[in-house]
A = this chain, B = another copy of it.
Amino acid sequence: MTYEAPVDDIMLALKTAVGLDDLIARGIYDGLDEDTVKAVIEEAGKFGAEVLDPLNWPGDRAGSKLKDGRVETPPGWTDAYRRFADGGWSALPCPEEFGGQGLPGVLSMAAFEIWSASNMSFGLCPLLTQGAIDALHTDGSDELKATYLPKMISGEWTGTMNLTEPQAGSDLGAIRTKAVKQADGTYRIFGTKIFITYGDHEMTDNIVHLVLARLPDAPAGTRGISLFVVPKRLVEADGSLGARNDVVCAGLEHKLGIHASPTCVMKFGEGDGAIGYLVGQENRGLNTMFIMMNAARLAVGIQGVAVAERATQRAVAYARDRRQGRTASSKAGEMGPIIEHADIRRTILTMKALTQAARAICLVTAREIDISHRAGEAGERKAAADKAALLTPIAKAFSTDIGCEVASMGVQIHGGMGFVEETGAAQYYRDARILPIYEGTNGIQAIDLVARKLPLENGAVVKAYIGEITATAAEVKASNRPEFGRMGVRMEEAVAALGEATKFMGRALATNPEAALVGATPYLRLFGLAAGQHYLAKAALAASREGADGAGPVALARFFAENLLVAAPGLAVTVTEGGEAILGFEPQRIGA
Q: Which residues of A contact B (CB under 8 A)?
A: 164, 167, 169-171, 174, 194-195, 220, 253-257, 312-313, 316, 320, 323-325, 333, 335, 337, 339-349, 352, 404, 408, 411-412, 415-416, 418-422, 426, 429-430, 433-434, 436-438, 441-443, 446-447, 485-486, 490, 514, 517-518, 520-522, 550-552, 555, 558-559, 562-563, 566-571, 573-574, 577-591
Contact = CB atoms under 8 A, between A and B. Distances in A.
B419 A345 contact: no
Nearest to A591: B316
A335 B442 CA distance: 20
A570 B573 contact: no
A562 B589 contact: no
A418 B437 contact: yes
Contacts of A571: 566
18 contacts: A169-B415, A194-B416, A312-B591, A339-B591, A341-B443, A342-B517, A342-B583, A343-B443, A343-B447, A343-B520, A345-B582, A346-B521, A349-B590, A404-B408, A552-B589, A562-B574, A569-B569, A570-B570
B558 A581 contact: yes
Between A256, A426, A589, the greatest number of chain B beta carbons within 10 A of the residue's beta carbon is seen for A256
A577 B559 contact: no
Given A343-B443, A562-B578, A570-B568, A585 B349 contact: yes
A256 B408 contact: no
A588 B562 CA distance: 21
Between A339, A567, A586, A590, the greatest number of chain B beta carbons within 10 A of the residue's beta carbon is seen for A590
A136 to B, nearest CB: 25
A486 B577 contact: yes
A456 B380 CA distance: 64
Given A345-B518, A570-B567, A584-B550, A170 B577 contact: no
Given A343-B446, A412-B436, A584 B555 contact: yes
Contacts of A343: 443, 446-447, 517-518, 520-521
Contact of A591 (B313, B323, B447): B313
A494 to B, nearest CB: 10
Given A416-B438, A563-B581, 16 more contacts: A169-B416, A253-B420, A337-B587, A340-B587, A342-B583, A343-B518, A345-B587, A345-B590, A408-B433, A412-B437, A415-B441, A552-B589, A562-B573, A562-B580, A566-B573, A566-B578
B421 A433 contact: no
A171 B324 contact: yes
Contacts of A174: 324, 335
Contacts of A442: 412
Nearest to A446: B343
Given A518-B342, A552-B589, A254 B422 contact: yes
A578 B347 CA distance: 13
A254 B411 CA distance: 15
A585 B352 CA distance: 12
Contacts of A339: 587-588, 590-591
Contacts of A324: 169-171, 174
Contact of A559 (B164, B344, B404, B581): B581
A312 B590 CA distance: 11
Contacts of A312: 591
Contacts of A490: 573
List of 4 A-B pairs having minimum Cβ-Cβ separation, nearest first:
A316-B591, A342-B518, A563-B578, A566-B570
B437 A348 contact: no
Contact of A342 (B333, B344, B408, B514): B514
B568 A585 contact: no
A339 B550 CA distance: 48
Given A569-B570, A570-B568, A590 B412 contact: no
A586 B580 CA distance: 46
A430 B411 CA distance: 11
Contacts of A522: 563
Contacts of A569: 569-570
A195 B414 CA distance: 14
A433 B429 CA distance: 9
Between A169, A518, A584, A587, the greatest number of chain B beta carbons within 10 A of the residue's beta carbon is seen for A587
A344 B585 CA distance: 12
A569 B426 CA distance: 33
Nearest to A586: B551
A521 B344 CA distance: 10
A437 B421 contact: no
Contacts of A580: 485, 562
A324 B340 CA distance: 49
Nearest to A346: B582
A420 B563 CA distance: 35
A353 to B, nearest CB: 10
Contacts of A325: 170-171
A422 B586 CA distance: 30
Contacts of A570: 566-570
A416 B195 contact: yes
Nearest to A324: B171
Contacts of A341: 443, 517
Between A415, A436, A446, the greatest number of chain B beta carbons within 10 A of the residue's beta carbon is seen for A415
Nearest to A572: B566
Given A253-B420, A342-B583, A442-B412, A352 B562 contact: no
Nearest to A255: B419
